[in-house]
Amino acid sequence: MGTHESQSLFWERHIGLSKSFWKYAAPLLQKEFDNFDYTPEEIYEAVNAVTPSLIRVEADELTYPLHVILRYRLETGVIEGDLAVSDIPRVWKEEMKSLLNVDVPSDTEGCLQDVHWSAFAFGYFPTYLIGAATAAQLEHYCRQEFPDMDARIERGEFHEIKEWLTDKIHRHGKRYPSLDAMLKDQLGEELNPTYFLDYLTAKYTDLYKLS
């Protein structure tokens, strides 16, 4: 499922949240909406703003991993017998405060916000983070294939990027026994979270002018 999640996150984050994409999309919005006078840079900064959130699906990409870590800790504790189900609401609130400095006003906005546990989908949450790391690694190698990737995105030329993903990922289906095996064969190395960390560090250091 990490492979599956990586594909949506590749397009959502590395294309749709990129500065180059908004240089392409802003003029289209300006044509469609009256009084739309936001610059590509302003839109880029707005869609990438970092704000700790109660709700996982509304979280920005920088704080999102903490939502996954929280859920992984809790479901691991329950499965291993170290955490009683009745204690989940309390620990959830404590962890949200510790990880994100967010106060949880109700269980509806806390431990009951996701459908995964009620559907017995234990162990699924980490695939979101695995997918994010995979997407960053794919972007790194895609840029090696297309050094002018930013210029292509700015022109709205996505076809060859999609074809590259098809060649490296989509066409293989269930050919490989694992994500690592596929990445090793197609990219030359197994899943490496360094690309994800480097992506977040570079992007948000620049965005918030931290250097």
Compute the average pLDDT of residues 111-121. 93
Compute the average pLDDT of residues 127-146. 96
- Supply 68's token pair: 């996954």
The string of pLDDT tens digits covering residues 29-70 is: 999 998 888 999 999 999 999 999 999 999 999 999 999 999
Compute the average pLDDT of residues 156-166. 96
What's the pLDDT score for residue 211?
66
- Supply 55's token pair: 């709700």
Domain residue spans of the chain? 2-207
Q: Which CATH architecture has domain 2-207?
A: Orthogonal Bundle (1.10)
